[in-house]
Amino acid sequence: MRRLHQSLARPRHRLVAAAGAATLTLVLSILATAGLGERPTGSWANAAARAAETIQINPGNVPTTAAAFNPDGHICGSDFGGGPLPGMDIWVFNLPGNHGTTGDFTELALTFAVPGDGTAQVRIPTDGGEIVLIGTSKAWIAVPAGWTLTGASADITGDADFFVLTHTCPAAGTSPSPSPSPSPSPSPSPSPSPSPSPSPSASASPSGDPSPSASVSPSPYGTFRPRPLVEAGRAAAFWLWLHRVLF
């Protein structure tokens, strides 16, 4: 009887053990399905790694102002803040390549040089602007006119190596106007050459008037001309000598 009782009791223990094992297996299966305590593997791990990737802007795009960047290709559109805006420059960035592999922007950090006031750091979309998907991932923001972009980085979900500044929309009235071509200076009108003054006709040299001859006052002696006083003196001396001799 004892052996019979033992033989009947053994199957009961086996049944309980089997039920317990099945319950444990079910619980573990539920935990595995819910993902509790599991580490991400495969594509989940790769997606998490890609989400943490930070890349830099194309170094050929900086430093620059909005007005100086591609001056012949400024674009202002409703998809990127509209514009041109008074006193505000709009900057637009692009994540080039195949969107399926390059992914999307999640945040951009921009560094600007502010005229006369050091530098400023601006984040998209935290400080304004927007991240949009138009073919590829793009981002835009408006900042005060005249700031110079000196550097930028971006967090992305894909595997792009860099991103680019694609275009700008300078503030209203700040687009460089073409320098006016200098107006030709009017050629001076030739000053009229002075008409030759008529050379004075040679004044007739005064006809040589004969120098007036000394007018001879009429002599009281008619045509007789008295001898010079010398001769008269000699005559007087002669008569005086003769008088002395004779008398």
Q: What is the pLDDT of residues 133-186, one digit of tens each?
A: 999 999 999 999 999 999 999 999 999 999 999 999 999 986 554 444 445 555
Is residue 111, in this structure, part of any structural domain at all?
Answer: yes
Is residue 137 domain-shared with residue 112, that is, in the same domain? yes
pLDDT at 35 over 90: no
How many folded domains does the chain comprise? Answer: 2
Q: Which of 151, 169, 187 corresponds to the end of one domain? A: 169
More confident residue, 106 or 236: 106
Is residue 224, in this structure, part of any structural domain at all?
Answer: no
- CA 126 remoteness from chain centre: 30
Is residue 60 domain-shared with residue 140, that is, in the same domain? yes
pLDDT band at 244 (very low <50, low <70, confident <90, very high): confident
Is residue 61, in this structure, part of any structural domain at all?
Answer: yes
Give the mean pLDDT of 30-51.
Answer: 46
Cα–Cα distance, 203 to 189 (Å, whole number): 39
Is residue 13 domain-shared with residue 64, that is, in the same domain? no
pLDDT band at 246 (very low <50, low <70, confident <90, very high): confident
- Domain ranges, residue 27: 1-38
Is residue 194, in this structure, part of any structural domain at all?
Answer: no
Task: Locate 122 and state its tokens.
Answer: 């601006």
Is residue 60 domain-shared with residue 27, that is, in the same domain? no
Range in 102-116, 127-141, 189-203 the model is least confident about:
189-203
Is residue 67 domain-shared with residue 154, that is, in the same domain? yes
Average per-residue pLDDT for the chain: 74
Cα–Cα distance, 30 to 36 (Å, whole number): 9
Give the mean pLDDT of 182-205.
Answer: 50
Range in 18-32, 85-99, 117-131, 184-198 the model is least confident about:
184-198
Is residue 128, in this structure, part of any structural domain at all?
Answer: yes
Closest CA to 104 of 135, 82, 75: 135
Give the mean pLDDT of 51-61.
Answer: 90
Q: Which of 132, 152, 169 corresponds to the end of one domain? A: 169
Give the mean pLDDT of 199-220.
Answer: 46
Is residue 90 domain-shared with residue 26, that is, in the same domain? no
Is residue 85, in this structure, part of any structural domain at all?
Answer: yes
Q: Which of 117, 144, 169 corresponds to the end of one domain? A: 169
More confident residue, 125 or 225: 125
Is residue 74, in this structure, part of any structural domain at all?
Answer: yes
Is residue 58 domain-shared with residue 16, that is, in the same domain? no
Taking the CA atoms of the chain, what radius of gyration do you get in angstroms?
64
Is residue 66 domain-shared with residue 33, that is, in the same domain? no
Which amino acid, 99?
Answer: H
Give the mean pLDDT of 56-60.
Answer: 98
